[in-house]
Amino acid sequence: MSGAEKKVQLINEELWSTLIRKAEESPRRRTNFNFHSSDSDLFHRFLNVILEGSYIAPHRHITPPKAEHFLVLKGEIAFFIFEEDGQVRELYRVSEGQGIDIPEGFWHSLVVLRGPAVCFEAKPGPYHPVSDKHFSPWAPLEGEEGAKEYLEKLKDIALTNLI
């Protein structure tokens, strides 16, 4: 693809506002904006705009193993790392201008503490929807019975343990 066919994308409040409106219209209460051109790209970069009340089921990236980089541009999140049995191993408050690097294979999830959260993510591609995320056996999937309660439990853990 020549430089004339590619597009430079400014990452600013105008883009964030557009994506926040899109997330507000989504039943999942979040939306992605990809900077990479296709799922087959070898490096994926995207904005993940997440509203309070969005449930991201604990998962890890193991097929193939992938690290993930997460930078909060707006808002504040609680980022969870879990043990194999679902116990919270590590908990981080990640505020605007802060980020987290997750090695491959770590169980993780997040809860929005102050939203909307606008996050920049980067991880290796390609993306295969069936195998990209390995969901935990100890937490409900998005949309399943108990998901709302599990999200509230995580938020309570975060609010109790983060100063």
> What are the pLDDT digits (tens) for 113-157?
999 999 999 999 998 888 889 999 999 999 999 999 999 999 999
Structure tokens, 8: 């430079």
Judged against a pLDDT cut of 90, whether residue 46 lies above it is answered with yes
Q: Is residue 109 part of a domain?
A: yes
- Apex 1 CA angle, 7 and 48, nearest 5: 45
Q: Is residue 124 part of a domain?
A: yes
Q: Is residue 65 part of a domain?
A: yes
> What are the pLDDT digits (tens) for 68-114?
999 999 999 999 999 999 999 999 999 999 999 999 999 999 999 99
Asked whether 124 and 111 are in contact (CB, 8 A), the reply is no
Q: Is residue 22 part of a domain?
A: no
Instruction: Give DSSP secondary structure letters for 65-131.
Output: B--EEEEEEEEEEEEEEE-TTS-EEEEEEEETT-EEEE-TT-EEEEEEEEEEEEEEEEEE----TTT
pLDDT of residue 137: 97
Residue 53, amino acid: G
Domain count, the chain: 1
- Give the separation between CA 134 and CA 24, rounded to whole angstroms: 27
pTM: 0.92
Structure tokens, 73: 């541009």
pLDDT of residue 49: 98
Residue 61: give the domain boundaries.
34-161
CA 144 centroid distance within chain: 19
Q: Is residue 12 part of a domain?
A: no
Q: Is residue 4 part of a domain?
A: no
Q: Is residue 68 part of a domain?
A: yes
Q: Is residue 61 part of a domain?
A: yes
Determine the 3-state secondary structure of 2 from DSSP: coil
Residue 26, amino acid: S
> What are the pLDDT digits (tens) for 5-44?
678 999 999 999 999 999 999 999 999 999 999 999 999 9
CATH code of residue 68: 2.60.120.10
